[in-house]
A and B are shown apart, each in its own frame.
Chain A
Amino acid sequence: MTSWFFGDAGVALLVLAIGASTIFARKTFDAAIAFVVYGLLLAIAWVRLSAIDVALTEAAIGGGMTGTLLLGAVARLRSAEPDDTRLGLPIQLATGFCCALVAACLAAALLLLPETIPTLAPAVMENLADTGLGNPVAGVLFSYRALDTLLEKVVLLLALLGVWSLAPNNAWNGIPRLRLYDRPNSTLTFLAQLLPPVGVVVGIYMCWVGANEPGGAFQGGTVLAAMWLLVIIARLERAPSIGQLWLRVGLVVGPAVFLAVGLAGLVLANGFLAYPPGHAKAFIVTVEFALTISIAAVLAMLAAGPPQQVQQE
């Protein structure tokens, strides 16, 4: 047990140190790199908290996708004039004191929690057999709290609409302004040829296995999105113009199938987003596959940013 304790203490210290360096690093580029490392370390912390599904999501989205987004933005912001307005030392110290106070209060609240905390775990496990799933987290996401998951997909689409609507008027239906890698035949080109076949298999496997083991549509979709971005950045494939019909269909197919299954629940079962008894797993896996496609498309387009050039045909 003690060796685990020291391992945990090491991870906790590293998370704190790297987290602090994202705040205190002088250059924003360094801070963005630190944030990617921080995401991966946090994933280890989640594994140690026995939340493997969260660990996969944190590593893929929290570290990888957010990192890609931030690094792209840092590169673009290099042309901006630096902002030299710094707060005075007294204000900084006062702010630091207040923030430390907030942290201390939160820590005290956590330490003073009662020994037995109300939990929904028994209720989840009791009814899990009815859903046909083996992974309780997937059960919560797609059965008990399916409405949350459906609305979350709508939030993703709304965010993408927001990003696209920031494009200048003449760039509508253009190509997202992703920074491309200039050197052909480099290591990146090689990796972009080598990794996607493996990544696509891993992504689909994660989606499939998510019903019974840690994994699922989010994690699988993120891996697929990363593979797509890799191929685009290495210039092996062009980014699609945002007006393409197949792209638009891909973006909405997940929420649309989810909504259709939810409405079918009104007829086949006893309510919106209810599954007919005995066939729950088939419906859930169908929804998960459709969602994986949409998540991959939305995440890749969010990371790619608003369209820039007008397509010339």
Chain B
Amino acid sequence: MSGANLFGMCGPALVGLGLYGLITDPEPLRKILAFNLLGSGVFLIFGVIARRAAAAGVPSDPVPQAMVITAIVVAFAATALAVALVLRLLEQTGRATLSTDVPVREKPDP
């Protein structure tokens, strides 16, 4: 088993872990974190395929590499927006939860 294959097994495991965290963890920030983990697993799978598609004297296919670089930057932008949404939710309701069956804390009347 080569080094690329080792990381090739790492990618799917990270996708599985991220998916599990995304579904089971109730806190929005943890969901965002899990989603980032899932994404990095997908990128890793892409990188392993790029490594296996090496040709023409380059050690790794540059096209998937460029796409992964773009993907990492876009993932950061999406994460920043998601975090801002969670913090706004906290400001508005005093809670940071996606659950609909907890009563929203009313602001005390002045």
Mark A residues whose CB is within 8 Å of B. 4-5, 8-9, 12, 15-16, 19-20, 22-23, 28, 31-32, 35, 38, 42, 45-46, 48-51, 53-54, 57-58, 61-62, 65-66, 69-70, 73-74, 76-77, 79-81, 83, 85-87, 91-92, 95-96, 99-100, 102-107, 110-111, 113, 117-122, 124-126, 136-137, 139-141, 144-145, 148-149, 152, 155-156, 158-160, 162-163, 166, 168, 218, 299, 302-303, 305-306
Contacting A at CB under 8 A, from B4-52, are 4-21, 23-27, 29-30, 32-34, 36-37, 40, 43-45, 47-52
Contact of B69 among A4, A110, A141 (CB under 8 A): A141
Question: Which of B37-75 touch A at CB < 8 Å?
Answer: 37, 40, 43-45, 47-63, 65-70, 72-75
| CB pair A110 B85 closer than 8 Å | no
Partner of B81, one of A49, A119, A163: A163
- Residues of chain B within 8 A of A69, CB atoms compared: 76, 79-80, 83
Distance of A85 Cα from B86 Cα, bound (Å)? 18
Q: Provide the residues of chain A in CB contact with B67, threshold 8 Å.
A: 145, 148
Given A57-B73, A137-B69, A155-B74: A73 in contact with B52 (beta carbons within 8 A): no
CB distance from B85 to the nearest CB of A (A): 7
Residue of A nearest to B32 (CB): A70
Between A and B, 29 residue pairs with Cβ closer than 8 Å are A4-B3, A5-B3, A8-B7, A35-B33, A51-B68, A58-B72, A69-B79, A70-B32, A73-B86, A76-B87, A80-B94, A80-B95, A87-B24, A92-B24, A102-B16, A107-B12, A110-B45, A117-B53, A120-B63, A121-B58, A122-B55, A124-B58, A124-B62, A125-B57, A156-B73, A218-B69, A306-B84, A306-B87, A306-B88
Query: Shortest Cβ distance from B53 into chain A, in angstroms?
Result: 4
Instruction: Give the total number of A-B pairs whose CB atoms are below 8 A apart.
Output: 278
Q: Are B26 and A53 touching (Cβ within 8 A)?
A: no
A49 touching B74, Cβ below 8 Å: no
User: Main secondary structure on chain A at its contact with chain B?
Assistant: helix
A23–B3 touching, CB < 8 Å: no
Q: Which chain B residues border A99 with CB–CB below 8 Å?
A: 16-17, 19-20, 23
A-contacting residues of B (Cβ < 8 Å)?
Answer: 2-21, 23-27, 29-30, 32-34, 36-37, 40, 43-45, 47-63, 65-70, 72-81, 83-88, 90-91, 94-97, 99, 102, 105
> Known contacts A9-B6, A61-B76; is A95 also within 8 Å of B20 by CB?
yes
Name the B residues within 8 Å of A28 (CB-CB).
Answer: 27, 29-30, 33
CA distance A12 to B14 in the complex (A): 11
Known: A5-B3, A305-B87. 15 other contacts (CB 8 A): A19-B13, A22-B34, A23-B17, A23-B20, A28-B33, A51-B68, A54-B69, A62-B75, A70-B32, A106-B12, A111-B8, A119-B53, A124-B56, A139-B62, A149-B70
Partner of B47, one of A49, A159, A299: A49
Residue of B with least CB distance to A301: B80
Q: Which residues of chain B come closer than 8 Å to A46, judged between CB atoms? A: 47
Given known contacts A23-B34, A49-B47, A69-B79, is B69 in contact with A77 (CB within 8 Å)?
Answer: no
Could you tell me if B68 and A54 are in contact, using CB atoms closer than 8 angstroms?
yes
Are A163 and B80 in contact, with the CB atoms below 8 A?
Answer: yes
CA distance in complex: A57, B71 (Å): 10
| Nearest-neighbor residue (CB-CB) of A45 within chain B | B7
Whether A125 and B94, one on each chain, are in contact in the complex, defined by CB atoms closer than 8 angstroms, is no
Cβ B96 vs Cβ A96 within 8 A: no
Q: Return chain A residues, CB-CB under 8 Å to B56.
A: 119, 121-122, 124-126
